[in-house]
Chain A
Amino acid sequence: MGESEATLAVHEPDLKHHFDDSAQQFQSSTLGMWVFLVTELMFFGGMFGGYTVYRNMYPDAFASTSHFMNVPIGAINTGVLIFSSFTMVMAVRSAQLGQKKVLIAFLIFTLLLGCVFLTLKYVEYHEKWVDHHIPGPGFQYADTRYFHQAQILFFLYFAMTGMHAIHMIVGAGMLIVLISMAARDRFTQAWYTPVEMIGLYWHFVDIVWIFLFPLLYLIGHTK
Protein backbone atom coordinates (compact mmCIF):
# COMPACT_ATOMS: atom_id res chain seq x y z
CA MET A 1 0.00 0.00 0.00
CA GLY A 2 1.12 3.55 -0.63
CA GLU A 3 0.92 4.62 2.97
CA SER A 4 4.04 6.72 2.48
CA GLU A 5 2.28 9.16 0.14
CA ALA A 6 1.35 12.18 2.20
CA THR A 7 -1.95 12.70 0.38
CA LEU A 8 -3.48 9.47 1.70
CA ALA A 9 -5.78 9.68 4.71
CA VAL A 10 -4.41 8.09 7.83
CA HIS A 11 -6.59 5.37 9.32
CA GLU A 12 -6.38 2.21 11.35
CA PRO A 13 -4.58 -0.60 9.49
CA ASP A 14 -7.60 -2.92 9.32
CA LEU A 15 -10.17 -0.27 8.41
CA LYS A 16 -11.21 -0.39 4.75
CA HIS A 17 -11.43 2.92 2.90
CA HIS A 18 -15.15 2.73 2.17
CA PHE A 19 -16.15 2.68 5.85
CA ASP A 20 -16.42 5.74 8.08
CA ASP A 21 -14.90 4.02 11.08
CA SER A 22 -14.23 0.62 12.68
CA ALA A 23 -17.65 0.54 14.31
CA GLN A 24 -19.43 0.96 10.98
CA GLN A 25 -17.20 -1.65 9.36
CA PHE A 26 -17.97 -4.09 12.17
CA GLN A 27 -21.72 -3.42 12.00
CA SER A 28 -21.66 -4.07 8.25
CA SER A 29 -19.94 -7.41 8.78
CA THR A 30 -22.48 -8.36 11.44
CA LEU A 31 -25.37 -7.41 9.16
CA GLY A 32 -23.92 -9.41 6.26
CA MET A 33 -23.39 -12.42 8.49
CA TRP A 34 -26.99 -12.22 9.69
CA VAL A 35 -28.30 -12.07 6.12
CA PHE A 36 -26.39 -15.29 5.49
CA LEU A 37 -27.74 -16.84 8.69
CA VAL A 38 -31.30 -15.97 7.62
CA THR A 39 -30.73 -17.90 4.36
CA GLU A 40 -29.54 -20.78 6.55
CA LEU A 41 -32.70 -20.40 8.62
CA MET A 42 -34.79 -20.68 5.44
CA PHE A 43 -32.76 -23.73 4.36
CA PHE A 44 -33.33 -25.58 7.64
CA GLY A 45 -36.88 -24.17 7.71
CA GLY A 46 -37.80 -26.25 4.66
CA MET A 47 -36.84 -29.43 6.50
CA PHE A 48 -38.60 -28.33 9.69
CA GLY A 49 -41.66 -27.59 7.52
CA GLY A 50 -41.57 -31.09 6.02
CA TYR A 51 -41.22 -32.53 9.49
CA THR A 52 -44.26 -30.54 10.69
CA VAL A 53 -46.44 -31.82 7.84
CA TYR A 54 -45.56 -35.49 8.31
CA ARG A 55 -45.73 -35.37 12.10
CA ASN A 56 -49.26 -33.96 11.77
CA MET A 57 -50.19 -36.73 9.33
CA TYR A 58 -48.70 -39.63 11.31
CA PRO A 59 -48.47 -38.54 14.98
CA ASP A 60 -48.59 -42.10 16.41
CA ALA A 61 -45.95 -43.48 14.06
CA PHE A 62 -43.65 -40.54 14.85
CA ALA A 63 -44.21 -40.94 18.59
CA SER A 64 -43.32 -44.64 18.37
CA THR A 65 -39.84 -43.83 17.04
CA SER A 66 -38.75 -41.99 20.20
CA HIS A 67 -38.41 -45.38 21.85
CA PHE A 68 -35.51 -46.14 19.49
CA MET A 69 -33.70 -42.82 19.87
CA ASN A 70 -30.73 -42.61 22.20
CA VAL A 71 -32.05 -39.87 24.50
CA PRO A 72 -29.05 -39.87 26.91
CA ILE A 73 -26.61 -39.29 24.04
CA GLY A 74 -28.93 -36.67 22.52
CA ALA A 75 -29.17 -34.85 25.85
CA ILE A 76 -25.42 -35.05 26.50
CA ASN A 77 -24.77 -33.75 22.98
CA THR A 78 -27.12 -30.83 23.66
CA GLY A 79 -25.05 -30.03 26.75
CA VAL A 80 -21.81 -30.40 24.77
CA LEU A 81 -23.03 -27.97 22.11
CA ILE A 82 -24.23 -25.45 24.69
CA PHE A 83 -20.88 -25.73 26.43
CA SER A 84 -19.13 -25.14 23.09
CA SER A 85 -21.27 -22.04 22.53
CA PHE A 86 -20.14 -20.80 25.94
CA THR A 87 -16.46 -21.41 25.12
CA MET A 88 -17.00 -19.70 21.73
CA VAL A 89 -18.45 -16.61 23.36
CA MET A 90 -15.52 -16.65 25.80
CA ALA A 91 -13.17 -16.81 22.81
CA VAL A 92 -14.81 -13.69 21.36
CA ARG A 93 -14.51 -12.01 24.75
CA SER A 94 -10.79 -12.87 24.91
CA ALA A 95 -10.35 -11.41 21.42
CA GLN A 96 -12.06 -8.21 22.58
CA LEU A 97 -9.62 -8.00 25.46
CA GLY A 98 -6.65 -8.80 23.20
CA GLN A 99 -5.72 -11.93 25.18
CA LYS A 100 -4.12 -14.01 22.45
CA LYS A 101 -3.29 -17.13 24.47
CA VAL A 102 -6.71 -17.29 26.13
CA LEU A 103 -8.35 -16.76 22.72
CA ILE A 104 -6.43 -19.68 21.20
CA ALA A 105 -7.19 -21.86 24.24
CA PHE A 106 -10.94 -21.20 24.01
CA LEU A 107 -10.97 -21.75 20.24
CA ILE A 108 -9.21 -25.11 20.67
CA PHE A 109 -11.62 -26.00 23.48
CA THR A 110 -14.58 -25.14 21.23
CA LEU A 111 -13.09 -27.26 18.43
CA LEU A 112 -12.63 -30.21 20.80
CA LEU A 113 -16.23 -29.97 22.03
CA GLY A 114 -17.37 -29.91 18.39
CA CYS A 115 -15.37 -33.12 17.83
CA VAL A 116 -16.95 -34.70 20.93
CA PHE A 117 -20.38 -33.89 19.49
CA LEU A 118 -19.52 -35.44 16.11
CA THR A 119 -18.05 -38.54 17.76
CA LEU A 120 -21.23 -39.10 19.79
CA LYS A 121 -23.23 -38.52 16.60
CA TYR A 122 -21.16 -41.23 14.93
CA VAL A 123 -21.96 -43.63 17.80
CA GLU A 124 -25.68 -42.91 17.32
CA TYR A 125 -25.53 -43.37 13.53
CA HIS A 126 -23.74 -46.66 14.02
CA GLU A 127 -26.47 -47.74 16.44
CA LYS A 128 -29.11 -46.91 13.81
CA TRP A 129 -27.17 -48.92 11.24
CA VAL A 130 -26.98 -51.97 13.54
CA ASP A 131 -30.72 -51.66 14.35
CA HIS A 132 -31.64 -51.43 10.62
CA HIS A 133 -33.15 -47.99 11.17
CA ILE A 134 -31.54 -46.48 8.08
CA PRO A 135 -34.32 -45.76 5.55
CA GLY A 136 -34.06 -47.82 2.40
CA PRO A 137 -34.16 -51.49 1.36
CA GLY A 138 -32.62 -52.69 4.65
CA PHE A 139 -35.07 -50.82 6.87
CA GLN A 140 -36.74 -52.84 9.63
CA TYR A 141 -39.19 -51.68 12.27
CA ALA A 142 -40.50 -53.49 15.35
CA ASP A 143 -44.07 -52.18 14.91
CA THR A 144 -44.97 -53.35 11.39
CA ARG A 145 -48.06 -51.08 11.27
CA TYR A 146 -45.70 -48.09 11.13
CA PHE A 147 -43.11 -49.57 8.77
CA HIS A 148 -43.53 -46.90 6.07
CA GLN A 149 -44.46 -43.96 8.30
CA ALA A 150 -41.64 -44.48 10.78
CA GLN A 151 -39.27 -44.61 7.82
CA ILE A 152 -40.26 -41.03 7.01
CA LEU A 153 -39.22 -39.96 10.51
CA PHE A 154 -35.86 -41.75 10.18
CA PHE A 155 -35.38 -40.16 6.77
CA LEU A 156 -36.01 -36.73 8.33
CA TYR A 157 -33.75 -37.68 11.26
CA PHE A 158 -30.81 -38.43 8.95
CA ALA A 159 -31.48 -35.47 6.65
CA MET A 160 -31.73 -32.96 9.50
CA THR A 161 -29.04 -34.27 11.86
CA GLY A 162 -26.82 -35.05 8.86
CA MET A 163 -27.16 -31.51 7.51
CA HIS A 164 -26.54 -30.23 11.02
CA ALA A 165 -23.41 -32.42 11.32
CA ILE A 166 -22.12 -31.09 7.98
CA HIS A 167 -22.52 -27.58 9.39
CA MET A 168 -20.57 -28.67 12.47
CA ILE A 169 -17.75 -30.02 10.27
CA VAL A 170 -17.64 -26.75 8.32
CA GLY A 171 -17.62 -24.87 11.64
CA ALA A 172 -14.75 -27.04 12.90
CA GLY A 173 -12.78 -26.22 9.72
CA MET A 174 -13.36 -22.52 10.26
CA LEU A 175 -12.27 -22.82 13.89
CA ILE A 176 -8.97 -24.30 12.67
CA VAL A 177 -8.57 -21.28 10.38
CA LEU A 178 -9.28 -18.95 13.32
CA ILE A 179 -6.77 -20.75 15.54
CA SER A 180 -4.13 -20.43 12.83
CA MET A 181 -4.95 -16.74 12.28
CA ALA A 182 -4.81 -16.05 16.02
CA ALA A 183 -1.46 -17.85 16.27
CA ARG A 184 -0.13 -15.66 13.45
CA ASP A 185 -1.22 -12.50 15.34
CA ARG A 186 -3.79 -11.56 12.73
CA PHE A 187 -6.24 -10.32 15.36
CA THR A 188 -5.99 -7.15 17.41
CA GLN A 189 -8.29 -5.59 19.94
CA ALA A 190 -9.40 -3.25 17.16
CA TRP A 191 -10.02 -5.99 14.58
CA TYR A 192 -11.14 -9.53 15.38
CA THR A 193 -14.19 -9.62 13.09
CA PRO A 194 -13.68 -13.24 11.85
CA VAL A 195 -13.79 -14.54 15.45
CA GLU A 196 -17.08 -12.72 16.02
CA MET A 197 -18.59 -13.88 12.68
CA ILE A 198 -17.62 -17.55 13.03
CA GLY A 199 -18.99 -17.24 16.57
CA LEU A 200 -22.37 -16.18 15.16
CA TYR A 201 -22.30 -19.18 12.80
CA TRP A 202 -21.39 -21.54 15.62
CA HIS A 203 -24.24 -20.27 17.81
CA PHE A 204 -26.69 -20.60 14.92
CA VAL A 205 -25.75 -24.26 14.48
CA ASP A 206 -26.25 -24.65 18.24
CA ILE A 207 -29.78 -23.19 17.98
CA VAL A 208 -30.67 -25.62 15.16
CA TRP A 209 -29.71 -28.48 17.48
CA ILE A 210 -31.70 -26.96 20.38
CA PHE A 211 -34.79 -27.43 18.19
CA LEU A 212 -33.75 -30.78 16.66
CA PHE A 213 -33.27 -32.45 20.03
CA PRO A 214 -36.88 -32.24 21.35
CA LEU A 215 -38.37 -32.69 17.86
CA LEU A 216 -36.46 -35.86 16.97
CA TYR A 217 -35.76 -37.51 20.33
CA LEU A 218 -38.62 -36.56 22.64
CA ILE A 219 -41.72 -36.84 20.43
CA GLY A 220 -43.44 -39.65 22.28
CA HIS A 221 -41.19 -40.39 25.18
CA THR A 222 -44.14 -40.65 27.53
CA LYS A 223 -45.60 -43.62 25.65
Chain B
Amino acid sequence: MTHPVVPIKTYAAVFGALLALTITTVAVSKLELGEFNFVAAMTIAVIKGTLVVMFFMDVRRATSLTKLIVGAGLFWMAILFVFVLSDYASRGWLPGPRWF
Protein backbone atom coordinates (compact mmCIF):
# COMPACT_ATOMS: atom_id res chain seq x y z
CA MET B 1 0.00 0.00 0.00
CA THR B 2 2.98 2.28 0.44
CA HIS B 3 5.50 0.64 -1.85
CA PRO B 4 5.41 -0.73 -5.38
CA VAL B 5 4.96 -4.51 -5.52
CA VAL B 6 8.26 -6.40 -5.66
CA PRO B 7 8.64 -8.68 -8.73
CA ILE B 8 8.52 -12.43 -8.01
CA LYS B 9 11.99 -12.70 -9.59
CA THR B 10 13.52 -10.74 -6.70
CA TYR B 11 11.93 -12.96 -4.05
CA ALA B 12 12.89 -16.09 -5.99
CA ALA B 13 16.51 -14.88 -6.24
CA VAL B 14 16.66 -14.28 -2.47
CA PHE B 15 15.09 -17.70 -1.87
CA GLY B 16 17.69 -19.31 -4.14
CA ALA B 17 20.54 -17.48 -2.42
CA LEU B 18 19.28 -18.60 1.03
CA LEU B 19 19.14 -22.23 -0.09
CA ALA B 20 22.61 -22.02 -1.65
CA LEU B 21 24.01 -20.52 1.56
CA THR B 22 22.40 -23.30 3.62
CA ILE B 23 24.17 -25.90 1.47
CA THR B 24 27.40 -23.87 1.74
CA THR B 25 27.24 -23.76 5.55
CA VAL B 26 26.85 -27.57 5.74
CA ALA B 27 29.68 -28.06 3.21
CA VAL B 28 32.04 -25.66 5.01
CA SER B 29 31.39 -27.40 8.34
CA LYS B 30 32.91 -30.57 6.87
CA LEU B 31 36.21 -28.82 6.14
CA GLU B 32 38.93 -28.62 8.78
CA LEU B 33 39.43 -24.89 9.28
CA GLY B 34 40.02 -24.70 13.03
CA GLU B 35 38.66 -21.48 14.49
CA PHE B 36 37.53 -20.39 11.05
CA ASN B 37 34.77 -23.00 10.99
CA PHE B 38 32.91 -20.90 13.54
CA VAL B 39 33.74 -17.64 11.75
CA ALA B 40 32.55 -19.06 8.42
CA ALA B 41 29.32 -20.46 9.92
CA MET B 42 28.47 -17.16 11.61
CA THR B 43 29.37 -15.09 8.53
CA ILE B 44 27.01 -17.19 6.41
CA ALA B 45 24.27 -16.99 9.07
CA VAL B 46 24.61 -13.19 9.24
CA ILE B 47 24.42 -12.91 5.43
CA LYS B 48 21.30 -15.10 5.41
CA GLY B 49 19.72 -13.12 8.24
CA THR B 50 20.48 -9.85 6.46
CA LEU B 51 18.87 -11.12 3.23
CA VAL B 52 15.70 -12.09 5.12
CA VAL B 53 15.57 -8.78 7.03
CA MET B 54 16.22 -6.62 3.99
CA PHE B 55 14.11 -8.37 1.34
CA PHE B 56 11.51 -10.58 3.01
CA MET B 57 10.91 -8.22 5.93
CA ASP B 58 11.34 -5.24 3.61
CA VAL B 59 13.47 -3.20 6.00
CA ARG B 60 15.36 -1.76 3.02
CA ARG B 61 12.20 0.23 2.16
CA ALA B 62 11.01 0.83 5.75
CA THR B 63 10.88 4.26 7.40
CA SER B 64 14.00 5.65 9.10
CA LEU B 65 12.30 5.19 12.48
CA THR B 66 11.79 1.47 11.85
CA LYS B 67 15.40 1.14 10.70
CA LEU B 68 16.49 2.89 13.90
CA ILE B 69 14.52 0.40 16.03
CA VAL B 70 16.06 -2.54 14.16
CA GLY B 71 19.53 -1.03 14.54
CA ALA B 72 18.94 -0.35 18.24
CA GLY B 73 17.89 -3.98 18.76
CA LEU B 74 21.09 -5.22 17.13
CA PHE B 75 23.14 -2.71 19.11
CA TRP B 76 21.64 -3.99 22.38
CA MET B 77 22.45 -7.55 21.32
CA ALA B 78 26.04 -6.40 20.73
CA ILE B 79 26.15 -4.91 24.25
CA LEU B 80 24.94 -8.23 25.67
CA PHE B 81 27.64 -10.22 23.92
CA VAL B 82 30.52 -7.76 24.34
CA PHE B 83 29.89 -7.30 28.08
CA VAL B 84 29.31 -11.00 28.78
CA LEU B 85 32.40 -12.05 26.82
CA SER B 86 34.62 -9.31 28.25
CA ASP B 87 33.65 -10.58 31.71
CA TYR B 88 34.32 -14.27 31.03
CA ALA B 89 37.37 -13.66 28.85
CA SER B 90 39.08 -11.51 31.47
CA ARG B 91 38.53 -13.87 34.42
CA GLY B 92 41.76 -15.17 35.80
CA TRP B 93 43.74 -12.14 34.65
CA LEU B 94 43.99 -11.02 38.27
CA PRO B 95 45.13 -13.25 41.12
CA GLY B 96 42.33 -14.55 43.25
CA PRO B 97 39.98 -17.47 43.68
CA ARG B 98 38.42 -19.01 40.58
CA TRP B 99 34.91 -20.32 40.92
CA PHE B 100 34.67 -22.35 37.76
- Asked whether, in the complex, the Cβ of B77 is within 8 Å of the Cβ of A93, the reply is no
Q: Tell me the B49-68 residues at the A interface (CB within 8 Å).
A: 49, 52-53, 55-57, 62-63, 65-66
Interface centre among B22, B29, B56 (most CB of A within 10 A): B56
Total CB contacts across the A-B interface at under 8 A: 136
**Min C-beta distance of B28 to chain A, whole Å:** 9
A49 within 8 A of B: yes
Summarize A's interface: helix, strand, loop or mixed: helix
Selecting from A78-86, A118-126, A153-161, the interface stretch reads A78-86
A140: CB under 8 A from chain B? no
**Could you tell me if B15 and A82 are in contact, using CB atoms closer than 8 angstroms?**
yes
Residues of B in contact, count (CB < 8 Å): 50
A: contact size bracket: 35 or more
Kindly list chain B residues whose C-beta atoms are within 8 Å of the C-beta of A176. none
Which A6-62 residues have a C-beta within 8 angstroms of B?
Answer: 22-23, 26-27, 30-31, 34-35, 37-38, 41-42, 45-46, 49, 52-53, 56-57
- Which residues of chain A are near B72, meaning CB under 8 Å? 38
Q: Are A222 and B26 in contact (CB under 8 A)?
A: no
Residues of chain B contacted by A27 (CB below 8 angstroms): 2, 62-63, 65-66
Which residues on the A side are within 8 Å of B31 (C-beta)?
A: 222
Q: Kindly identify which residue among A53, A199, A206 contacts B84, using a CB–CB cutoff of 8 Å.
A: A53
A78 close to B66 (CB less than 8 A): no
Interface residues of B in 7-37 (CB under 8 A from A): 8, 11-12, 14-15, 18-19, 22-23, 25-26, 29-33, 37
Most buried by A among B5, B29, B49: B29
17 sampled A-B residue pairs with Cβ under 8 A: A22-B1, A22-B2, A26-B2, A34-B69, A42-B77, A75-B22, A75-B23, A78-B22, A85-B15, A90-B8, A90-B11, A93-B5, A93-B11, A192-B1, A213-B25, A221-B30, A222-B30
